[in-house]
């Protein structure tokens, strides 16, 4: 068995969505002074590799703590979308995977964009789903849709149609995945566990693929 970590490290200078406060860490106790080490940290719920709940944009939407833990694991289909010149992931990119998606819990979209993590370019022109592609995915019985980019919607989108389509269908969204290029199979067992925070509209998460 091989486990591939699909998560970005969290530290005070990681990229965050424009307008989001970056995380902060304070060493509050040390082994030298207190006999034990402890720190406090503060970060937005949509920091680094993270999961969006319906409550992220839907009034009265379901929060992450209301999902059973089994909802965060399942068979994932790795959808290759490495060459998207106009940045739009359409139904055409999904069509080769339709039969596999029928049996899957997650659609994980590999765009290769995580190679720009830490650069200004990460926020510019990244591949995102079209509403049509989101509607197509919502037609499957998926638990979640993941992508190795900052958002499933374009950076200049204010109405967030893809978020609405997926979250209104009860499909969780995982953003800022990493290391998808290390997966050499079209289907893997996928686990993405958010923190169990009461009322969470989202949460940083540790995502892995099990080969």
Report the topology of domain 3-9+45-210: Glucose Oxidase; domain 1 (3.50.30)
- What are the average pLDDT values for consecutive 10-residue runs of the chain, which has 211 residues? 96 90 95 97 96 97 97 97 90 96 97 95 94 98 97 94 98 98 91 97 97 89
Q: Among 55, 5, 24, 28, which residue's Cα sits nearest to residue 203?
A: 55
Q: Report the pLDDT value the prediction gives residue 184, as an integer from 0 to 100.
A: 87
Q: Report the pLDDT value the prediction gives residue 83, as an integer from 0 to 100.
A: 84
Chain centroid offset of residue 84 CA: 19
**Tokens, residue 16:** 């965050």
The whole-angstrom separation of Cα 203 and Cα 56 is 10
Half-sphere exposure of 158 (CA within 13 A, CB side): 0
Provide the annotated active-site residues.
56
In this prediction the pTM is 0.96
Q: Report the pLDDT value the prediction gives residue 3, as an integer from 0 to 100.
A: 96
Q: Report the pLDDT value the prediction gives residue 1, as an integer from 0 to 100.
A: 87
Q: Report the pLDDT value the prediction gives residue 187, as an integer from 0 to 100.
A: 85
The whole-angstrom separation of Cα 147 and Cα 187 is 15
Q: Report the pLDDT value the prediction gives residue 84, as an integer from 0 to 100.
A: 85
**Tokens, residue 3:** 């486990």
Hey, how many other C-beta atoms are within 10 angstroms of the C-beta on 37?
12
Q: Report the pLDDT value the prediction gives residue 78, as an integer from 0 to 100.
A: 96
Q: Report the pLDDT value the prediction gives residue 185, as an integer from 0 to 100.
A: 85
């Amino acid at each position: 068995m091989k486990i591939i970590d699909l998560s970005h490290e969290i530290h005070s200078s990681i990229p965050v969505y424009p307008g989001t406060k970056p995380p902060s860490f304070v060493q509050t106790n040390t082994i030298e002074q207190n006999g034990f080490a402890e720190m406090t940290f503060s970060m937005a719920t949509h920091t680094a590799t993270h999961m969006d709940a319906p409550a992220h944009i839907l009034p009265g939407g379901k929060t992450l703590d209301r999902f059973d833990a089994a909802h965060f694991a399942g068979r994932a289909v790795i959808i290759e979308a490495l060459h998207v010149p106009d940045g739009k992931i359409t139904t055409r990119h999904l069509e080769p995977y339709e039969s596999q998606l029928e049996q899957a819990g997650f659609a994980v979209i590999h765009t290769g964009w995580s190679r720009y993590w830490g650069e200004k370019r990460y926020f510019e022109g990244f591949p995102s789903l079209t509403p049509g592609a989101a509607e197509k995915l919502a037609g499957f019985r998926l638990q979640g849709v993941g992508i190795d980019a900052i958002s499933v919607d374009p950076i200049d989108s204010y109405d967030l149609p893809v978020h609405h389509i997926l979250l209104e269908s009860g499909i969780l969204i995982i953003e800022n995945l990493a290391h998808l290029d290390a997966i050499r199979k079209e289907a893997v067992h996928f686990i993405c566990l958010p923190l169990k925070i009461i009322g969470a509209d989202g949460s940083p998460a540790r995502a892995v693929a099990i080969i």
